[in-house]
């Protein structure tokens, strides 16, 4: 969003790896652990955990013989994702060193890998995307990881009044498919950052949560029902709320939240929910969104500047956070601008 506000071209490639956990080379993994300082008893323990694993397959009520597994890390375990992150931890430095600029970032979360690049020039932008893709492909191949080409997508982020130019990213004389939205870490991101696709994705989950609350109402107390609300409804609603909480489709989520509150309280359709929110001590969607923004600023204070850091003259607002210059209406609705321009942040104790 910051790059779009600075009138830069922004796009990213979302990589999909095939059976990522099963393809991890154990010798490379153990060598990287030793490089990161895992030695002695801990190294021996992890090596013992990975080695001498066997498996057999059941098919048509017949079992195969036990066979030794020489590659991969245990999937479904707590340590599996950690081992995989250690395995690919060097990727960000490889990208930064190869592209030699600070206008690219890489997001790693287990086997979900995404790279975002921003450039002021469209020709340099397409060239660097192709270079970055080749670097990633070669790194995956050298580390015995298989890339699902048909499930790897490119997306260019735009504002609604911008024309979407076609970008060609080649792989063995084939083009990477371009998409207008992609799911990343449980959040559906669209190329205009409207977050409407994400709301469309979570709406069926919220409807299902209302159904679960209604069914549990007959057997559980109000306190227990409230726990069910937080487990099935609030967890889905609040995840990624900091991004899409100001979307025009947010009214659909608020409507479902009011339905859930009405079910908990056993109220009628035309009853006001405002007092019910107060009784249950549950924040409405808009209030939850503001709370999420404020907590982001508090927990990431280093990302924001004071007026005193930019201006030498001391005024009554010197200690206030400085809202950045905005060129886009969409940027003004984001966390880096909206919460700093509001008075909520200065009312915190």
CA angle at 311 for the pair 308 and 314, rounded to the nearest 5°: 60
Q: Which of the four pLDDT bands, split at 50, 70 and 90, describes residue 338? A: low
The count of C-alpha atoms lying within 13 angstroms of the C-alpha of 38, restricted to the half-sphere facing its C-beta, is: 15
- Return the closest-CA partner of residue 248 out of 180, 310, 199, 177: 199
> Which of the residue ranges 57-66, 161-170, 312-321 has the most confident prediction, judged by mean pLDDT?
57-66
Separation CA 32–CA 91 (nearest Å)? 13
Q: Which own/partner contact pairs does 167-172 have at CB distance under 8 Å and 24+ positions apart?
A: 167/11, 167/125, 167/126, 167/129, 168/126, 168/130, 169/13, 169/126, 169/129, 169/130, 169/133, 170/130, 171/133, 171/137
Question: Reduced to 3 states, what is the DSSP secondary structure of residue 106?
Answer: strand
Q: Which of the four pLDDT bands, split at 50, 70 and 90, describes residue 344? A: low
pLDDT of amino acid 260:
93
**pLDDT digit string, tens, across residues 274-315:** 888 988 999 999 889 888 888 888 888 787 777 777 777 777
Which of 102-106, 129-133, 231-235, 285-289 is predicted with the least confidence, judged by mean pLDDT? 102-106
Separation CA 282–CA 258 (nearest Å)? 11
For the chain, the maximum distance between any two Cα atoms, rounded to a whole number of angstroms, is 81
Which of 41-50, 102-111, 138-147, 258-267 is predicted with the least confidence, judged by mean pLDDT? 102-111
Summarize the confidence of residues 176-184 as an average pLDDT.
84
Q: In the predicted model, what is the mean pLDDT of the chain?
A: 83
pLDDT of amino acid 13:
87
pLDDT of amino acid 76:
81
Separation CA 310–CA 15 (nearest Å)? 40
Question: Reduced to 3 states, what is the DSSP secondary structure of residue 299?
Answer: helix
- Quickly count: other Cβ atoms within 10 Å of residue 132's Cβ: 21
CA dist list (Å): 181 to 189, 193, 194, 222, 278 = 5, 9, 10, 39, 37
**pLDDT digit string, tens, across residues 243-255:** 888 888 888 999 9
Separation CA 118–CA 3 (nearest Å)? 7
Is the overall model pTM greater than 0.85, yes or no? no
Q: Which of the four pLDDT bands, split at 50, 70 and 90, describes residue 225? A: very high
**pLDDT digit string, tens, across residues 194-218:** 888 999 999 999 999 999 999 998 8
pLDDT of amino acid 161:
57
Q: What percent of the chain has pLDDT over 70?
A: 90
Phi, psi of 174 (to 5 degrees): -120, 150
- Return the closest-CA partner of residue 328 out of 120, 99, 159, 102: 159
More confident residue, 261 or 319: 261
DSSP 150: G
């Amino acid at each position: 969003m910051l790059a779009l506000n600075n009138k830069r071209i922004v796009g990213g490639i979302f990589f999909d790896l095939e059976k990522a956990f099963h393809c991890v080379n154990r010798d490379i993994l153990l060598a990287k652990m030793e490089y990161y300082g895992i030695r002695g008893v801990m190294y021996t323990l992890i090596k013992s955990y990975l080695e001498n694993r066997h498996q057999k397959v059941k098919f048509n009520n017949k079992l195969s013989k036990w066979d030794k597994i020489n590659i991969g890390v245990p999937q479904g375990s707590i340590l599996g994702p950690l081992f995989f992150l250690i395995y690919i931890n060097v990727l960000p430095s490889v990208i930064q060193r190869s592209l030699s600029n600070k206008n690219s970032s890489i997001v790693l979360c287990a086997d979900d890998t995404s790279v975002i690049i921003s450039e002021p020039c469209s020709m340099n932008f397409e060239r660097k995307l192709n270079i970055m893709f080749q670097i990633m492909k070669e790194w995956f191949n050298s580390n015995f990881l298989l890339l699902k080409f048909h499930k790897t997508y490119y997306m260019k982020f735009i504002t609604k009044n911008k024309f979407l130019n076609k970008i060609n990213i080649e792989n063995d004389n084939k083009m990477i498919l371009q998409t207008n939205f992609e799911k990343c870490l449980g959040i559906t991101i669209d190329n205009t950052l409207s977050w409407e696709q994400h709301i469309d994705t979570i709406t069926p989950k919220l409807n299902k949560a209302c159904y679960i609350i209604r069914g549990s109402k007959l057997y559980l107390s109000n306190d227990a029902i409230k726990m069910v609300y937080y487990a099935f409804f609030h967890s889905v609603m609040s995840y990624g709320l900091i991004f899409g909480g100001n979307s025009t489709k947010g009214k659909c989520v608020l409507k479902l939240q009011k339905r859930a509150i009405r079910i908990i309280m056993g109220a009628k359709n035309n009853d006001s929910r405002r007092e019910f929110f107060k009784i249950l001590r549950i924040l409405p969607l808009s209030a939850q969104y503001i709370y999420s923004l404020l907590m982001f600023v508090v927990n990431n204070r280093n990302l924001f500047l004071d007026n005193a850091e930019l201006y030498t003259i001391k005024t009554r607002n010197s200690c206030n956070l400085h809202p950045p210059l905005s060129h886009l209406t969409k940027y003004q609705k984001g966390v880096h601008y909206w919460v700093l321009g509001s008075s909520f942040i200065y009312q915190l104790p």
